[in-house]
């Protein structure tokens, strides 16, 4: 079967890791008879450099709407001024309301923890990320935190459905409803109600996020699904990435009702861009999530086979010491991709 997916290189290390991931995915698919026909589109500074007038060109959004699935590299956002985030805009324009970031220990990647297996589920459309900021008077600014019952209920149901489908025993909401009584109060009320009403078989609890961070650092293995509003989900995702080897090892996906965009948790890493040393594992793991998603949407079991081939190969490569610099190894981006591909069928 031929699948159609949009491919967005993005900025910084994006083109390096996305093209390496594409090579690994295509090679894993080759023996199965199924293929992906990639439609390359631009987003971010790369879109301006390619001659577009906008950071998020309409043709990119149109392609994702038409094809339903995209693999996306990171896009740069300037700090403290300049244009607003392309990543946030993309999630909002396509109503990709649910981010999923699986965080799992990887054999051969030494960290302080073993057996971490948790998932961050992040609300992607509201919170302080609504980007509603005002200068009231010089020296006084406000930033509005938005929470709606509709979005809070929708992400709660998504988190419980995710837990149920994967036999995860517990959903934990991280919040600050002791201080933000109305916004975070609404978020936890919706989560609690959905849990009690629709998923009574799944354990549910709530932790104030500061204490939650301490408990996570003490023992991340006690958690299953972490349900977070937008900003907390962003911060917690990077915290959790540190449990399993860092941002080079943490994949992600953004789901809406009709579309899904798969992207790593990491950003464009300008400090190492263009050097050929970035770890392509996170975006490749996102690609494995994409293959499994395509199987769910189309019923094509060949892409599940390719996903297993790819996952087994990168796990075996890392376990035997074939690693990129961020994981203490010596391989560059392309050499790691070669090492993975050489293990197919082995």
Query: What residues between 309 and 328 interact with ligand NAI by CB under 6 A?
Result: 326
For residues 218 and 212, what is the distance between their CA atoms, to the nearest angstrom?
10
From candidates 9, 19, 152, 279, binder to ligand NAI by CB under 6 A: 279
**Nearer of residues 68 and 251 to ligand NAI, judged by Cβ:** 251
* Sign of the torsion formed by the C-alpha atoms of 74, 80, 82 and 84: positive
Query: Residues with catalytic annotation?
Result: 129, 176, 210, 234
Question: In angstroms, what is the minimal distance from the CB of 154 to ligand NAI?
Answer: 21
Query: β-strands 98-104, 253-255: how paired?
Result: antiparallel
CA distance 12 to 60: 19
Cβ nearer to ligand NAI, comparing 261 with 306: 261
Chain residues 94-153 in contact with ligand NAI, contact rule CB under 6 A:
none
43 binds ligand NAI (CB under 6 A): no
Is residue 267 a contact residue for ligand NAI (CB under 6 A)?
Answer: yes
**Among residues 5, 6, 7, 17, the one that binds ligand NAI under rule CB under 6 A:** 17
Q: What's the CA gap between 228 and 272, in Å, rounded?
A: 30
Task: Single out the segment in contact with ligand NAI by CB under 6 A; choices: 19-27, 71-79, 105-113, 220-228.
Answer: 71-79
- Residue number closest to ligand NAI, CB atom: 267
The stretch near ligand NAI (CB under 6 A) out of 32-40, 51-59, 254-262, 278-286 is 278-286
Q: Does 77 bind ligand NAI (CB under 6 A)?
A: yes
Q: Find the helix or strand (DSSP H, E) in which 135 lies.
A: strand 127-137
CB of 324 to ligand NAI, least distance (A): 6
Contact, 133 vs 144, CB < 8 A?
A: yes
Q: What is the dihedral of CA 4, 293, 255, 87, to 10 degrees?
A: -50
- Paired with 103 in beta bridges are 118
Write out the E strands in 209-249. Answer: 225-228
| Contact status: 254 vs ligand NAI (CB under 6 A) | no
Helix (H, G, I), strand (E, B) or coil at 97: coil
Task: Tell me the β-bridge partners of 254.
Answer: 99, 261
Residues lying near ligand NAI in the complex (CB under 6 A): 13, 17, 74-77, 87, 247-248, 263, 266-272, 278-279, 282, 326
């Amino acid at each position: 079967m031929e699948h159609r997916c949009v491919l967005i290189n993005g900025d910084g290390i994006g083109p390096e890791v996305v093209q390496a991931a594409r090579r690994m995915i295509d090679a894993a698919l080759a023996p199965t008879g199924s293929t992906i026909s990639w439609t390359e589109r631009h987003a971010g500074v790369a879109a301006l450099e390619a001659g577009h007038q906008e950071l998020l060109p309409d043709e990119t959004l149109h392609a994702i709407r038409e094809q339903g699935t995209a693999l996306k590299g990171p896009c740069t956002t300037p700090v403290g001024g300049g244009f607003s985030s392309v990543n946030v805009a993309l999630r909002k324009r396509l109503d990709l309301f649910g981010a999923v970031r699986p965080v799992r220990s990887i054999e051969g990647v030494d960290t302080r923890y073993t057996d971490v297996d948790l998932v961050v589920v992040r609300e992607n459309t509201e919170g302080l990320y609504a980007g509603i900021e005002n200068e009231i008077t010089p020296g006084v600014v406000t930033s509005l935190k938005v929470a709606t019952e509709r979005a809070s209920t929708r992400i709660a149901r998504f988190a419980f459905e995710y837990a149920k489908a994967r036999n995860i025993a517990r959903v934990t909401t991280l919040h600050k409803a002791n201080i933000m009584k109305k916004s975070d109060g609404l978020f936890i009320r919706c989560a609690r109600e959905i849990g009690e009403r629709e998923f009574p078989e799944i354990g549910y609890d709530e932790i104030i996020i500061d204490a939650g961070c301490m408990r996570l650092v003490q023992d991340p293995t006690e958690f299953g699904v972490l349900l977070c509003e937008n900003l907390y989900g962003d911060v917690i995702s990077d915290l959790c990435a540190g449990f399993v080897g860092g941002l080079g090892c943490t994949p992600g996906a953004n789901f809406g009702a009709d579309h899904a965009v798969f992207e790593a948790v990491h950003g464009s890493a300008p400090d190492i861009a263009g050097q050929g040393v970035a770890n392509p594992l996170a975006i490749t793991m996102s690609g494995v999530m994409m293959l499994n998603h395509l199987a769910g949407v189309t019923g094509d079991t060949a892409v599940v086979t390719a996903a297993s081939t790819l996952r087994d190969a990168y796990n075996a490569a890392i376990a035997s010491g074939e690693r990129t610099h961020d994981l203490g190894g010596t391989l560059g981006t392309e050499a790691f991709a070669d090492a993975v591909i050489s293990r197919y069928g082995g």
